[in-house]
């Protein structure tokens, strides 16, 4: 379908906000009375426009298609002869469309007013607020030596508590440093030197010693065994571990110094 409008549209394709916007454009373009829309002409031009959009591979929003269907529906209703009009059907088929068009037109015009007002009032300039801190009289306190003293005492008390807390934590850190692999090796070797069989769980009892000590003791035991200064045996899985002097123990060679990386 090629018409004058198709050409016009391809040359200057207006960007319409929606089907009503397009209808208005057509109504104004044709200088049509909005209350008496020649539905034939408008429908034809409306479809022409959609065709033009299609030719240009523009995506047509579904709303435009709904309006096309509405227009065609109105057109068909107007073509059909009315048979015994009842009260409701007597109304002009265009009625609903016109009401919606008028409603839309109202806001479209007002949108223009808003735009104009915005232009004017964007020319007024404002100052940024000063940062004024709130002064609340309730925060003022009466100061007397007695009050100051009580505050001072409270502060001292808090300070002491805090300090005690810190001291506790610091001791823990020191404790931890005490557990060294070297010391544990020495401990086991000393016991072995007495020529006795050591029960691991007795020497490194989890009840008496910290977890870290037990773990380090276990490592020390393995180190000593590896170096040949002790032999270990564990008769039952998960059972007691016995440490006995190893083959090198009779020698006077001292146990080689191991890296203390704990």
Partner 1 sequence: MSSITDTEIIIEAVLFASGDPVPLDKLAEIIGHDRKTTKMIMSNLVYKYQNSPRGIMIRQIDDGYQLCTKPEMDEYIQKLGTVRKRQGLTPAAYETLAIIAYNQPVTRAYIEQIRGVNSDSVIMKLVERNLIREAGRDDAPGKPKLYETTEEFLRVFGFSSIKDLPPLEMNEVPEFLENVPLD
The yes or no reply on residue 95 touching partner 1 (CB under 8 A) is: yes
200 within 8 A of 218, measured Cβ to Cβ: yes
* Shortest separation between residue 261's beta carbon and partner 1, angstroms: 59
Give the residues across from 2 on adjacent strands. Answer: none
The yes or no reply on residue 104 touching partner 1 (CB under 8 A) is: yes
Please give the biggest Cα pair distance in the chain: 130
The yes or no reply on residue 112 touching partner 1 (CB under 8 A) is: yes
| CB nearer to partner 1: pick between 95 and 165 | 95
The closest of 211, 224, 230 to 184, measured between CA atoms, is 224
| CB nearer to partner 1: pick between 46 and 229 | 46
What are phi and psi for residue 121, nearest 5 degrees? Answer: -85, -10
The C-alpha atoms of residue 83 and residue 253 are separated, in whole angstroms, by: 126
The C-alpha atoms of residue 89 and residue 36 are separated, in whole angstroms, by: 18
* Shortest separation between residue 17's beta carbon and partner 1, angstroms: 5
* Shortest separation between residue 59's beta carbon and partner 1, angstroms: 13
The C-alpha atoms of residue 51 and residue 159 are separated, in whole angstroms, by: 84
The yes or no reply on residue 17 touching partner 1 (CB under 8 A) is: yes
The C-alpha atoms of residue 114 and residue 118 are separated, in whole angstroms, by: 6
The yes or no reply on residue 77 touching partner 1 (CB under 8 A) is: no
Binding mask 18-47 for partner 1 (x = CB under 8 A): xxx--------------x------------
The C-alpha atoms of residue 190 and residue 230 are separated, in whole angstroms, by: 12
Among 117, 160, 163, 172, the residue binding partner 1 under the rule CB under 8 A is: 117
Distances (CA, A) of 59 to 33, 49, 51, 133, 246: 30, 13, 11, 56, 90
DSSP letter at 238 equals T
* Shortest separation between residue 74's beta carbon and partner 1, angstroms: 15
Taking CB under 8 A as the criterion, which residues in 128-187 touch partner 1? 128-130, 132
* Shortest separation between residue 113's beta carbon and partner 1, angstroms: 7
| CB nearer to partner 1: pick between 132 and 135 | 132
**Contact positions vs partner 1 (CB under 8 A):** 17-20, 35, 61, 63, 67, 85, 87, 90-92, 95, 98-100, 102-115, 117-118, 120-130, 132
């Amino acid at each position: 379908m090629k018409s004058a409008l198709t050409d016009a549209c391809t040359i200057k394709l207006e960007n319409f906000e929606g089907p009503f916007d397009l209808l208005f454009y057509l109504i104004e373009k044709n200088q049509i009375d909005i209350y008496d829309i020649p539905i034939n002409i408008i429908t034809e031009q409306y479809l022409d426009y959609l065709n033009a959009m299609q030719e240009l591979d523009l995506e047509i929003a579904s709303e435009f298609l709904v309006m096309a269907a509405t227009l065609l529906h109105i057109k068909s209703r107007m073509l059909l002869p009315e048979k015994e009009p009842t009260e409701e059907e007597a109304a002009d088929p265009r009625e609903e469309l016109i009401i919606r068009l008028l409603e839309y037109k109202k806001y479209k015009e007002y949108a223009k007013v808003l735009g104009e007002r915005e232009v004017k009032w964007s020319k007024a300039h404002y100052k940024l607020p000063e940062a004024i801190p709130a002064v609340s009289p309730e925060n003022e306190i009466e100061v007397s030596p007695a009050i100051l003293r009580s505050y001072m005492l409270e502060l001292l008390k808090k300070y002491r508590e805090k300090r005690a807390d810190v001291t506790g934590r610091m001791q823990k850190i020191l404790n931890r440093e005490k557990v060294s692999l070297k010391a544990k090796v020495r401990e086991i070797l000393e016991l072995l030197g007495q020529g006795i069989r050591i029960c691991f769980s007795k020497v490194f009892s989890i009840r008496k010693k910290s977890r870290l000590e037990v773990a380090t003791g276990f490592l020390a035991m393995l180190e000593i065994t590896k170096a040949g200064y002790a032999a270990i045996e564990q008769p039952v899985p998960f059972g007691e571990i016995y440490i006995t002097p190893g083959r090198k123990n009779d020698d006077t060679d001292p146990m080689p110094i191991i890296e203390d990386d704990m």
